[in-house]
């Protein structure tokens, strides 16, 4: 893996590629009915990682259509790219199925926050390279259950605790910026990386190549890009030449 990784996001809802504004299903835009086509598009542009989110799983809804889409994305990626998958991974069994299917890294959210000791055991079992935790915050406070429930926990304090559990990879999203193209909350993201020493992947609000370059220059481990790629404010062919 390179020192800086770009992750095109493929968010799945009812088996289709969508983007949500601030995680709200009522504010969604549909982009592709065949997610494997989207995967091939980003792979052709030069991506070697894909960030896939099972939104139905994250919202606690039936996700059979998404599971079929994930299998198709895995087939499209083959040996050319790694898949980072999040959304609804809330049991040991779901992780076992995820890794058996060929997913390279699992992204935990709600479950990791609610069951820290189990998170420690999962990291010990599968290794720190294969487990990431997503901290999704609004006003500095972490939200769970598909961003619907407030925890009252400070993102930085929780990140420090996760580091103690053996975590290496952390995804930090500022919910207030997600899907809006207003720019990444770089200051907060960098502060978490600096204070914890974790490999932090920035997410939420990326709009331009300048945003990507700023994240890389700040020393973060990577960046997740969604709407900016789909709407064309970032050209994929230029992006993967960075």
- Write the burial class of residue 49 (CB in 10 Å: 0-12 exposed, 13-18 middle, 19+ buried): buried
Which tokens is 45 given? Answer: 């542009």
Annotated active-site residue 211? The verdict is: no
- Among 93, 91, 80, 123, which residue's Cα sits nearest to residue 105? 123
Determine the Cα angle at 83 with ends 79 and 85, to 5°.
155
Single out the catalytic residue among 56, 63, 136, 211: 136
CA distance 202 to 222: 6
Report the C-alpha gap between 3 and 194 in whole angstroms: 16
Q: How far apart are CA 28 and CA 70, in angstroms?
A: 20
Asked whether 75 and 102 are in contact (CB, 8 A), the reply is: no
Question: Looking up tokens 């959304």, which residue turns up?
Answer: 87
Q: For Cα atoms 100, 36, 30, give the angle at the middle one, nearest 5 degrees.
A: 120
11 classed as catalytic? yes
Work out the burial of residue 28: count CB atoms within 10 Å of its CB; fewer than 13 is exposed, 13-18 middle, 19 or more buried: middle
Supply the residues annotated as catalytic.
11, 136
């Amino acid at each position: 893996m390179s020192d800086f990784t770009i992750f095109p996001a493929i968010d799945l809802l009812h088996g289709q590629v969508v983007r949500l504004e601030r995680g709200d299903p009522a504010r969604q835009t549909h982009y592709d009915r065949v997610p494997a086509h989207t995967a091939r598009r980003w792979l052709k542009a030069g991506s070697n990682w894909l960030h896939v989110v099972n939104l139905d799983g994250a919202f606690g809804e039936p996700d059979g259509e998404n599971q079929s889409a994930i299998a198709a994305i895995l087939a499209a990626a083959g040996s050319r790219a790694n898949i980072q998958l999040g959304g609804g991974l809330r049991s040991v069994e779901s992780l076992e199925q995820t890794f058996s299917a060929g997913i390279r890294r699992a992204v935990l959210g709600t479950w990791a926050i609610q069951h820290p000791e189990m998170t420690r055991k999962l990291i010990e079992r599968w290794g720190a390279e294969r487990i990431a935790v997503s901290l999704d915050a609004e006003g500095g406070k972490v939200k769970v259950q598909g961003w619907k429930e407030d925890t009252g926990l400070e993102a930085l304090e929780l990140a420090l605790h996760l580091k103690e559990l053996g975590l290496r990879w952390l995804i930090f999203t500022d919910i207030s910026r997600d899907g809006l193209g207003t720019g990444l909350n770089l200051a907060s993201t960098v502060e978490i990386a600096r204070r914890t020493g974790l490999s932090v992947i920035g997410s939420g609000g990326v709009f331009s190549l300048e945003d990507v370059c700023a994240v890389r220059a700040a020393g973060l481990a990577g960046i997740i890009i969604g709407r900016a790629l789909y709407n064309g404010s970032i050209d994929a062919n230029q992006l993967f030449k960075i």
